[in-house]
Structure 1
Amino acid sequence: MNGKDEHRTRTAVPVPHSVFRVVDAPPGERFGLWKESISCIFDVEAERETRLLDFDAEVEAWLLGQLMLARTTSRAQSWRRSASTIARDGMDHYMVQLFAEGEMEAGDGPRSTFADGQALVVFDLAREMTSRTPSFTNLSLVIPREALSDALFAPDDQHMRTLRTAEPLAAMLRDHLVALTRVGRRLTTTQAREVSRATTTMVAACLNGCEHAAGLDAAPRVAQLGTCKRLIEQNLSDPGLSASQICGTAGLSRTKLYALFAPLGGVNAHIRERRLRRALSALADPRNRFRPVYEIAATCGFRNESAFSRAFRRRFGRSPREARHEGVDLAPAARTASGAGHRYEHWLHHLAV
């Protein structure tokens, strides 16, 4: 072996890998262990007979650079991601799922979707959803929003999209996810970083290129919307941020601005949502443990703490102080969870570009 080979051997660090399973626990305790573990992202319930008689669940996960890939197998159950859950974990990722076995019915109120082995389904984890699955095995790719959103034609219109694998790009992404699970344990961290970049590019190509994505004729609208959203992000701390200000800076009429933001619930609703999401992220950050709530509210563009607290509770179902307590407690709990199988819980909450 020459010097270069020895150097490669010494520096080839395996990709982080985690396996959570409940099969070794007494049957009556398995569902409780699963419910506690998966509560890092979903609240789940199952029929009494399923919970007590023959429940099983396993999550095998790989940390691929800034992405997480997981293969999950479990019994029939219901899944929920509510406003309260979103406030509790502050997660702001996209998730692409493929069902290798079984199927899923999901909804978020006005919309519903169905996925089986012939489809990929996309979730925006900053949005609410419920679903039901029979016994299943699925693959889940989790991507931080900031890693993907700038590459998408419609970053805020991906929630619960179903991509049929009859579409060539969707079929390519399906095959890529299956291949990643097959070779995941053999990847090194250096290889995983390269795979992460390639995978994110492939997901963007799939979401942009499949049927129902924004077409070329929508490019000017997408560019204008992107410009306006960047202006909003840059000025969220300004309590005087208004439609007039955005129109003046972006060179748009008020009518055009309102039309651009209509699919997002309106420009004012979008500004309020972004302010609340930024505040939630700040409250959940352990570095802000002793930072006054009124100061966080002010930096997010709220004129007073009372108005901020009311808006926050309406959106997330809990007070800013409650969200801060839960968010700050979450990280050490994930880090100290017993057993390597719980590592995926920590990864989900700390994915970042």
Structure 2
Amino acid sequence: MTHQTSPKSTILERSRFSLNELPSAQRFEVWKDSINCIYSVDADRRTRREDFVADLDSWRHRDLMMVEARSCAQSFLRTSQMIASDGMDHYNVQLYTDGAVKSDAGLGGDVLKRGGLLLLDLAQRTEAQSSEQFNSVHLFLPRRLVEDHLTNPDDHNLRFLSERDPMVRMLFSQILSMHRHIHEFNDTQISVLQKTIVMMLSTCLNSAKGETNTTRALRQDIEKGVMIRRYFRENLLSQELTAETAADDLGLSRSSLYRLFKKHGGVNQYLRDMRLRHALKLLTDPTECRRSIYDIALECGYETDAGFIRAFRAKYDMTPGDVRAGHVPHARHRDDERIDKRYENWLHTLA
């Protein structure tokens, strides 16, 4: 009897970012420009000038994304301005197989050791530093997949989960194994693994000490912001969605709603950016390739494709047609075709 194996994933995407083909003097600036899609980075002069390396092995499967990173000592910063600009609302779970990361603002610790995990909330400010040389794996999960399972979903930014906890060690192994063997799984198996990881992560976080003096002081605005963003996600494509209807439905005053989204350029700007990110996701989705740009414009709240194209170009510095042709937004060094920067686009369209 012939043994039949299950079909592998039909929608898994993979990319490899590497600076190896560039002269040493150019590498750090190219890296800094690329990773600025999520973090602002800096390194000392010697690191920047002498054989700087940065390799990213990334894959994406629907709303799940992982990146294996290898690089040098540097600082990572995610500012309030970056949060307001890109609107990313993901959790980033990190593990290190070599080297370490530390943060003076860490919860439950300040240095990540092998076997432990670090959770970053990309809707909150983050600052950390990596060791001299490191290898790390980063799991990105949209907030909506995790927050309903958490007792305090907004209290875990820079949460260090100790390797002394057996559940944390099991989750560490699960994430690492999934990343290394992802090409062997079919789509159903990957979806099952994603749900398993979400539940294990939620268990680890719920058993951690959630509230601190800092998060307690910020809780009211954070919880309101999460509630509003969830409402916007669920009603994004409704033609009736406006700042006024949102305030009424959520039982908030309009002034309170406007204050919470002032850093995003206002409620209307935030909604426009969300709809354009949704459009970007549709334009890069192979299953949506037969849809016309006009049809996508209508779904995203634009009455004409001309108005949609103008707004899209203003945000991404390229047209919807450019994206359909394979160009990648956010990659400013477009003159160097040797570097695969698709991971940037994946981060911005993960939803």
TM-score by length of 1: 0.67
Distance 1:12-1:75 versus aligned 2 partners, 3 A rule: closer
Amino acid at match of 1:181: H
- For residue 282 of structure 1, the aligned residue among 271, 275, 287 is 271
Aligned residues: 286
Q: Which residue of 1 aligns with 2:117?
A: 120
Counterpart contact for 1:16–1:62, Cα < 8 Å: yes
Q: Which residue of 1 aligns with 2:65?
A: 68
Deviation, structure 1 residue 228: 11
Q: Which residue of 2 aligns with 1:170?
A: 168
Counterpart contact for 1:96–1:142, Cα < 8 Å: yes
Q: Determine the C-alpha separation between the residues in 1 that align with 2:100 and 2:145.
A: 28
Counterpart contact for 1:57–1:73, Cα < 8 Å: yes
Q: Which residue of 1 aligns with 2:328?
A: 334
Q: Secondary structure at the match of 1:334?
A: coil
Which 4+ stretches in 1 moved above 6 angstroms? 109-112, 225-229, 268-271, 323-326
Give 5+ residue unaligned stretches, structure 2: 212-218, 232-240, 280-310
Q: Determine the C-alpha separation between the residues in 2 that align with 1:151 and 1:347.
A: 24
Q: Secondary structure at the match of 1:123?
A: strand
Q: Determine the C-alpha separation between the residues in 2 that align with 1:191 and 1:274.
A: 39
Alignment of 1:122-141 (within 5 A): 122-134=119-131, 135-141=133-139
Q: Determine the C-alpha separation between the residues in 2 that align with 1:159 and 1:21.
A: 29
Q: Secondary structure at the match of 1:198?
A: helix
Q: Determine the C-alpha separation between the residues in 2 that align with 1:125 and 1:15.
A: 24
Q: Which residue of 1 aligns with 2:260?
A: 273
Counterpart contact for 2:115–2:163, Cα < 8 Å: yes
Q: Percent identity among equivalent residues?
A: 28
Deviation, structure 1 residue 66: 1.1
Higher share of residues assigned helix = 1
Q: Determine the C-alpha separation between the residues in 2 that align with 1:44 and 1:229.
A: 27
Distance 1:228-1:341 versus aligned 2 partners, 3 A rule: closer
TM-score by length of 2: 0.68
Amino acid at match of 1:282: L
Q: Which residue of 2 aligns with 1:343?
A: 342
Give 5+ residue unaligned stretches, structure 1: 215-221, 247-267, 290-322
Alignment of 1:72-83 (within 5 A): 72-83=69-80
2:140 matches 1:142: yes
Distance 1:128-1:327 versus aligned 2 partners, 3 A rule: farther
Counterpart contact for 2:63–2:142, Cα < 8 Å: yes
Q: Determine the C-alpha separation between the residues in 1 that align with 2:269 and 2:137.
A: 29
- For residue 56 of structure 1, the aligned residue among 26, 39, 53 is 53
Larger radius of gyration: 1
Counterpart contact for 1:66–1:193, Cα < 8 Å: no
